[in-house]
């Protein structure tokens, strides 16, 4: 296998667009370096595309749409099965790319970033075996048909995982695609495009255009021949995409920011609740939109929670992401590095109690975008660190007096993406879950379920990804009266 990452053109830029079944150069390329966050050194250069490249990709997707939409669910499932198999064959290649481009610890890239991404393809394939694309209601037939050409915009923090969540569902539905991956972590996207190519995708069904938000993202969102935009990103980016898409009245599905609560109920076993909660908050170094970064705990247990949190952090190994012993690498890019450091200073300035961590790099790490896993206690819900999405390893421990107070604190945010609840009485935990305004709630740290729909309330977005609901985002509903 020859990777497109090794294909450099004469200008030293990566061959970076995949349009209409071919690797091609942008019409007017501009170079951007991909930086290894562990060294702060460039590891590759990519050429950013623009509006003309989006026009080419959309035209290719439009030409391919009728043929792909007419294929049988069984044929689309067979294609997805090949994609799934190739992803599993190339786990190490993807893991190395993800570790380099966004700093994921290599063990985490191998065990989570890549295999969980492959699961989205498997679920999309399996859904096709049973999904009722035609149902009947009396003499009326209800048809679920592919919406058309879809622009997919994915983030840098889970670069492959978010691609497969969207691409698998869209291809299963019968849609054609123009993908814009993050320009900050594009290498795994190029590898994925190669997988799709090697799996035998018809020309034009899947297209990839690298670029930034103001260039490629805006052009995709406003394009009159794009029927749907699906974005995973910041709330600010979601607003801009929605505004750009509004004049063409296309469907917009948004998975945006979060400030997820983890409610520790009074009867919870702290030994089983706290350490996994810290681990969940710092999963992917806190660079997850659904990370439970607000731990809401009974006031009488505050000091014990602090002790257990400190112990949990002490077991983390921050360092070279390619070292096998490392559990947490650097944050993914300089902008995020500065953001996390700034918000740690904000927390200290707001008067929160610093349990562990703090400003500055971890000891012994003088270069790279490394930050210290940080826990604040005695946080009040109105503090900036409790309200703003930091997107790094910063946990806020917020005390409460009654369960009603805990629910109020949990809902005291503009976001509503995820939530966690820990408790010994399952019925009580379920009752609290019913009161949380979030799209996905986890009780007592259950196993990840790739079929569970995922998405947000409030400013965390609209629409759902994963599972059946994720595929249905890419379907239109047509009623045919007098069908039978």
Provide the pLDDT confidence category of residue 25 given band limits of 50, 70 and 90: confident
pLDDT of residue 296 exceeding 80, the answer is yes
Average the pLDDT over 193-207 and give the result.
Answer: 98
pLDDT of residue 3 exceeding 60, the answer is no
Average the pLDDT over 277-294 and give the result.
Answer: 98
Position 29 scores a pLDDT of: 79
Provide the pLDDT confidence category of residue 255 given band limits of 50, 70 and 90: very high
Query: Percentage of the chain surpassing pLDDT 90?
Result: 94
Position 285 scores a pLDDT of: 96
**Which residues carry out catalysis?**
255
- Whats the size of the chain, residue-wise? 484
327-339: per-residue pLDDT in tens?
Answer: 999 999 999 999 9
Residue 159 structure tokens:
């670069």
Position 27 scores a pLDDT of: 81
412 burial type by CB count under 10 A (0-12 exposed, 13-18 middle, 19+ buried) = middle
Position 14 scores a pLDDT of: 67
Position 31 scores a pLDDT of: 87
Average the pLDDT over 42-61 and give the result.
Answer: 95
Report yes or no: 462 and 121 within 8 Å, Cβ to Cβ: no
Provide the pLDDT confidence category of residue 13 given band limits of 50, 70 and 90: low
Q: How many CB atoms lie within 10 A of CB 136?
A: 12
Question: Which residue shows structure tokens 């806020």?
Answer: 396
pLDDT of residue 33 exceeding 50, the answer is yes
Q: How many CB atoms lie within 10 A of CB 301?
A: 17
Average the pLDDT over 246-251 and give the result.
Answer: 98
Q: How many CB atoms lie within 10 A of CB 475?
A: 20
Average the pLDDT over 293-322 and give the result.
Answer: 98
Question: Which residue shows structure tokens 């009780």?
Answer: 443
Picking from 157, 153, 160, 185, the residue whose alpha carbon sits closest to that of residue 35 is 185
What are the Cα distances from residue 80, in Å, to 73, 177, 287? 10, 14, 28
Provide the pLDDT confidence category of residue 367 given band limits of 50, 70 and 90: very high
Cα–Cα dist 428/418, whole Å: 19
Provide the pLDDT confidence category of residue 1 given band limits of 50, 70 and 90: very low
Cα–Cα dist 164/181, whole Å: 11
Average pLDDT, the chain: 96
Picking from 465, 479, 52, the residue whose alpha carbon sits closest to that of residue 290 is 465
Residue 3 or residue 378, greater confidence:
378
415-443: per-residue pLDDT in tens?
Answer: 999 999 999 999 999 999 999 999 999 99
pLDDT of residue 394 exceeding 60, the answer is yes
pLDDT of residue 9 exceeding 70, the answer is no
Position 28 scores a pLDDT of: 82
Provide the pLDDT confidence category of residue 406 given band limits of 50, 70 and 90: very high
Average the pLDDT over 277-306 and give the result.
Answer: 98
pLDDT of residue 107 exceeding 50, the answer is yes
Average the pLDDT over 296-309 and give the result.
Answer: 98
Cα–Cα dist 379/295, whole Å: 10
Q: How many CB atoms lie within 10 A of CB 407?
A: 21
Provide the pLDDT confidence category of residue 2 given band limits of 50, 70 and 90: very low
152-187: per-residue pLDDT in tens?
Answer: 999 999 999 999 999 999 999 999 999 999 999 999
Query: Percentage of the chain surpassing pLDDT 70?
Result: 97
Does the CA dihedral 373-375-381-384 come out positive or negative? negative
79-93: per-residue pLDDT in tens?
Answer: 999 999 999 999 999
**Domains of the chain (ranges, CATH numbers):** 4-256+460-480 (3.40.605.10), 261-450 (3.40.309.10)
């Amino acid at each position: 296998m020859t990777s497109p990452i090794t294909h450099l053109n004469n200008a030293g830029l990566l061959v970076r667009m995949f349009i209409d079944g071919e690797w091609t150069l942008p019409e007017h390329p501009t170079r951007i370096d991909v930086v290894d966050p562990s060294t702060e050194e460039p590891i590759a250069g990519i050429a950013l595309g623009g509006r003309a490249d989006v026009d080419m990709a959309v035209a290719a997707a439009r030409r391919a749409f009728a043929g792909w939409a007419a294929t049988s669910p069984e044929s689309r499932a067979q294609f997805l099965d090949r994609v799934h198999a190739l992803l599993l064959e190339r786990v190490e290649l993807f893991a190395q790319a993800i570790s380099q481009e966004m700093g994921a610890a290599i063990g985490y890239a191998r065990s989570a970033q890549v295999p969980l991404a492959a699961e989205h393809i498997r679920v999309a394939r399996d859904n096709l075996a049973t999904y009722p694309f035609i149902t009947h209601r009396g003499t009326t037939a209800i048809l679920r048909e592919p919406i058309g050409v879809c622009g997919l915009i994915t983030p840098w923090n889970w670069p492959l995982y978010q691609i497969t969540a969207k691409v698998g569902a869209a291809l299963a539905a019968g849609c054609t695609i123009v993908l814009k991956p993050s320009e900050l972590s594009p290498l795994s996207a190029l590898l994925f495009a190669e997988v799709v190519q090697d799996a035998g995708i018809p020309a034009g069904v899947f297209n990839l255009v690298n670029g930034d938000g103001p260039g490629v993202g805006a052009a995709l969102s406003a394009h009159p021949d794009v029927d749907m935009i699906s974005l995973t990103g910041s709330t600010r980016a979601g607003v801009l995409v929605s505004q750009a898409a509004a004049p063409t009245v296309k469907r917009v599905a948004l998975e945006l920011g979060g400030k997820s609560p983890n409610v520790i109920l009074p009867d919870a076993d702290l030994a089983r609740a706290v350490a996994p909660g810290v681990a969940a908050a710092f999963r992917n170094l806190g660079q997850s939109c659904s990370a439970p970064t607000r731990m809401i705990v009974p006031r009488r247990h505050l000091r014990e929670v602090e002790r257990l949190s400190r112990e949990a952090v002490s077991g983390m190994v921050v360092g070279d992401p390619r070292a096998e012993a490392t559990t947490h690498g650097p944050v993914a890019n300089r902008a995020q590095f500065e953001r996390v450091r700034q918000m740690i200073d904000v927390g200290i300035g707001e008067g929160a109690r610093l349990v562990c961590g703090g400003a500055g790099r971890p000891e012994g790490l003088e270069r790279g975008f490394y930050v210290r896993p940080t826990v604040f206690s005695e946080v009040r819900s109105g503090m900036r660190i409790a309200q703003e999405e930091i997107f790094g390893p910063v946990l806020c421990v917020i005390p409460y007096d009654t369960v009603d107070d805990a629910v109020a604190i949990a809902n005291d945010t503009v976001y509503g993406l995820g939530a966690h609840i820990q408790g010994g009485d399952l019925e009580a935990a379920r009752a609290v879950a019913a009161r949380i305004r979030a799209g996905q709630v986890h009780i007592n740290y259950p196993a990840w379920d790739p079929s569970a729909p995922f998405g947000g309330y409030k400013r965390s977005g609209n629409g759902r990804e994963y599972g059946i609901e994720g595929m249905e985002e890419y379907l239109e509903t047509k009623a045919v009266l007098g069908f039978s």
